[in-house]
Structure 1
């Protein structure tokens, strides 16, 4: 059974039970009220009839007057003498099953009432009965009995019952209609949400739910829309990540294939007979150089992998940045001199920082070696400047500069501004990516300022300690 039907029948059954209960209670309450009101009126009428009957003279017209009074009041009447013997009734058939004599206990009770009537209103009897003593009677009548069927009092209840029943059936009909409409109103958004959820599950992340409701369904619709939007964004990220991963593996394959081809070619040349010693040495140097290049490539990949997955990628400690910069400058001075470049060290002062010295040394090593590789003439300067609790470390060169179109992707893995020339210089294409990963792990950022023909400046910041 669908939820719409379940909701509808649940409301219908509950409301019908409520309507029937209220209607039955109303009928019983009205019935009881009318009987109580009738009993009070019956008691008053009994007193009035007793006063009238006691005032009649004891003559030939006495019977006629009692009968006329019974006709006018529409009560059944019986008159008893001083000994409790009935001597007059109207109508006669109403007293066929009634004893002709009053019980002594009833007479005693009437005498104790001192003129007030005794009302007999038992649930097992169909009549309302009153006995009253006629005090100071002018005739032979000493006790009066009046009675009336209770159905007389329930006549109004019958009419009211019909009205209540009509209203009840009308209400039930209205309840059925309203329940189905309400169930439809409640079930429709559920169906829409279900259809939308199925669409989203099947990959339709552009699905939007427009319920225009301020209740829980509207909140759920907004949540599903937000979920779809989040999934859509995540899906786009996964697509981009997959594209980068595919490109990454393609680049690795390409980067490894070239030096392997060179190594293979060198080994083939070394197998040639009668190869001059000078040529053998040249091919050995070439093969060794390409092997180092492959080793560097995988070392960089290992570093990047640790940055991606290792929470303990960096081990911070406090060290003097000045000493580290001097060590990097000294290590690269021979390479700079060999190329005819001037590797300058800025005026430095002692500066303690909290970072991983090995990783920061690797960053500077990559930046300085890149600057030397891509600067054909001029100079390379390395140094740092303190700025408001931070120290800015920089590497600046007088090389050809970098075009603006390359700056956004400069730190992407395997991205090169000039692929052919970069490979000729033995680069892996991962140096700047490694720099970015290390500095990101330090909650820092590598930045570059460059203009074609005017050199480049790479810099980053670290917090100063003390």
Structure 2
């Protein structure tokens, strides 16, 4: 086994262990919320239980990203395909998107949806994850303007678009877009700085649906993220396009 394979297996085992441990912690924290003795501390800013919950949530998200990335490099991620109601997916996605936008005073959230859409053969959890990753990036890198989710039926494909008026990506940083642990931000103390795993995970999800990814970008213009899902019976083709 090559060193890279050994490192990837180690990352997978480590992230799996951390995720399980954090899930156990979260279970016990949830139990604390049901204790009458602690009810005076629930919902109180900076109380010990609220402090623990606030510190725990980002850790769970980060470790989940690491495990998803580990599944991509070890080929352990699998799809559970089923007939998916797109409107059901979008309802849950947009509820979370509204919450993200509420935290940014200069950004509004819009949606453009047709009245009728067919069902899709896809993994609903992974499709939701891909959309939320794109929306999260759009909101994170947009300080003023809008984030729009658009869905459109085009011939035998359904087009999903996440469009924003954010910072875009300069041409010299194009090669970094799908590279894990890379960032286009120069300020290493920027609070928006993450681990650079979100787009890599989305790319892998699309690959698992027999798709492909590409992008176009211009700094200062904003971003449009597109992907197509074929509605042809028996097909699992998804095409993801990034136009920044």
TM-score normalized by the length of structure 2: 0.68
1:336 matched to 2:101: yes
- Distance in structure 2 (CA, Å) of the matches to 1:373 and 1:284: 27
Partner in structure 2 of residue 297 of structure 1: 62
| Residue 444 (1) aligns with residue 211 (2) | yes
Shift of 1:416: 0.9
- Does 2:112 correspond to 1:346? yes
Give, in whole Å, the separation in 2 of the partners of 1:427 and 1:283: 26
Q: Where does residue 235 of structure 1 map in the other structure? A: none
Post-superposition shift, 1:357? 0.6
Q: Which has the higher strand share?
A: 2
Instruction: Return the index of the structure with the highest Cα Rg.
Output: 1
In 1, the alpha carbon distance for the partners of 2:194 and 2:51 equals 15
- In the alignment, structure 1 segments of 5+ residues that lack a partner are 1-237, 253-279
Give 1:464 deviation, angstroms: 1.0
Counterpart CA distance in 2 for 1:336 and 1:411 is 25
Q: How many residue pairs align between the two structures?
A: 196
Q: Which has the higher helix share?
A: 1
Partner of 1:402: 169
C-alpha displacement of 1:452: 1.1
Would the alpha carbon gap of residues 422 and 369 (structure 1) be closer, same or farther in structure 2, given more than 3 Å must change? farther
- Indicate if the aligned counterparts of 2:166 and 2:220 stay in contact, CA closer than 8 A: yes
Pair 1:311–1:293, CA change in 2 (3 A): closer
CA contact (8 A) 2:162 2:226 kept: yes
How far off is 1:346 after superposition? Answer: 0.9
Specify whether residues 399 and 338 from structure 1 end up closer, same or farther in structure 2 by C-alpha distance, changes over 3 A only: same
- Find the counterpart in structure 2 of residue 320 from structure 1: 85
Distance of 1:369 and 1:312 partners within structure 2: 22
Task: Indicate the RMSD between aligned Cα atoms, in angstroms.
Answer: 3.1
Structure 2: gaps of 5 or more residues:
15-44, 234-244
Does the 8 Å contact 2:168/2:222 carry over to 1?
yes
Matches within 5 A, 1:173-184: none
| Aligned residues of 1:353 and 1:464 also touching (Cα < 8 A) | yes
Q: State whether residues 113 and 152 of structure 2, in contact with CA within 8 Å, keep that contact through their aligned partners in structure 1.
A: no
Q: Distance in 2 between matches of 1:321 and 1:345?
A: 14
Label 1:342 to 1:281 Cα distance change in 2 as closer, same or farther (>3 A): same
The reply to whether residue 434 of structure 1 matches residue 213 of structure 2 is: no
Deviation at 1:306, TM superposition (A): 2.5
Q: State the 1:290 CA deviation.
A: 4.5
Among 122, 135, 144, the alignment partner of 1:377 is: 144
